[in-house]
């Protein structure tokens, strides 16, 4: 089974009724069966509502990568939603790291959200006006995802981590910066689910979601059905996880360190 499919399958099994405990059975590091009963806790982050989408908790982590000889900034967030808070925290993280040797953006597990946020966030790494992440092709017109450069941008190497659960805006952001040769991608192929969509409420109260346009990255290739292909394939393995390692992030750190030694 694909690692990302397995991760989503496990996650879906854990999303039970919040009023009920979850019974788990798994193998520990020594391959011995272990059983646990776990109680649901309040998810981290801030509860966010957007349109007809189910409410969700949105969070962001920022800081510095530990155990590296280089100074590397880090940002990870679970959805492209709650723009004022997420984009504010993301911008603060980049600005506080202008002298860093590199910056890592972790989009693994991020299903996307508001496409406009990708343009604003990309502006922290692109200093040339008019650059595009890609183009949205609607029936009657087109919409260019033009990057909005910031007053001061981060000039160093940028690494983006993706996996099979990185979708939609995550793919637009990662694929666009890759095409612009402004970021190197690490991890596993993304979800290949990047078409923009809308949700209409049906008379019975159900929501009907449908695609409204096609999307091509700046390199001229569709992301739908293809996904973002990493420059460096680094899938997670049980052995690496048991050793406390993260193959994708480790590969990104190694690349940034090599860029510092050999610019």
CA atoms within 13 A on the CB side of 211: 12
Q: Which of 32-36, 49-53, 80-84, 118-122 has the lowest mean pLDDT?
A: 49-53
Of all residues in the chain, the percent with pLDDT exceeding 90 is 63
* Residue 18 binned pLDDT confidence (cut-offs 50, 70, 90): low
Q: Which two tokens stand for residue 262?
A: 């050999």
**pLDDT score recorded for residue 258:** 94
**pLDDT score recorded for residue 1:** 42
Q: What span, in angstroms and rounded, lies between the C-alpha atoms of 125 and 137? A: 25
pLDDT in tens, 43-100: 889 999 888 778 889 999 999 999 888 999 999 999 999 999 999 999 999 999 999 9
Domains of the chain: 1-41 (no CATH), 47-261 (3.90.226.10)
Closest CA to 83 of 106, 110, 107, 50: 50
Question: Which residue matches tokens 């800081």?
Answer: 63
Which element (helix H / strand E) includes 104?
strand 102-106
- Predicted confidence (pLDDT) at residue 13 exceeds the cutoff of 60: yes
């Amino acid at each position: 089974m694909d690692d990302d499919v397995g991760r989503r399958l496990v996650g879906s099994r854990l999303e039970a009724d919040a009023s009920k405990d979850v019974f788990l059975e798994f193998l520990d590091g020594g391959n011995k069966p272990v059983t646990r009963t776990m109680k649901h806790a309040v998810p981290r982050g801030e509860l966010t509502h957007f349109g007809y989408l189910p409410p969700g908790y949105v969070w962001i982590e920022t800081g510095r990568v530990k155990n590296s000889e280089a100074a590397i900034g880090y940002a990870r967030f679970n959805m492209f939603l709650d723009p004022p808070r997420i984009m504010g925290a993301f911008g603060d993280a980049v600005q506080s790291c202008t002298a860093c040797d590199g910056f890592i953006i972790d989009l693994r597990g991020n299903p996307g959200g508001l496409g406009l946020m990708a343009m604003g966030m990309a502006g922290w790494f692109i200093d040339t006006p008019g650059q595009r992440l890609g183009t949205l092709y609607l029936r009657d017109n087109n919409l260019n995802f033009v990057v909005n450069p910031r007053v001061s941008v981060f000039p160093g190497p940028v690494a983006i981590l993706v996996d099979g659960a990185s979708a939609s805006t995550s793919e637009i952001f990662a694929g666009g910066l890759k095409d612009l040769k402004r970021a190197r991608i690490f991890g596993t192929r993304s979800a290949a689910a990047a078409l923009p969509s809308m949700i209409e409420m049906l008379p019975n109260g159900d929501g009907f979601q449908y695609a409204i346009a096609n999307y091509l990255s700046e390199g001229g290739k569709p992301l739908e059905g293809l996904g973002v292909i990493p420059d460096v394939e680094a899938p997670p393995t049980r052995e690496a996880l048991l050793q406390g390692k993260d193959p994708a992030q480790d590969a990104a750190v190694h690349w940034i360190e090599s860029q510092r030694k050999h610019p």
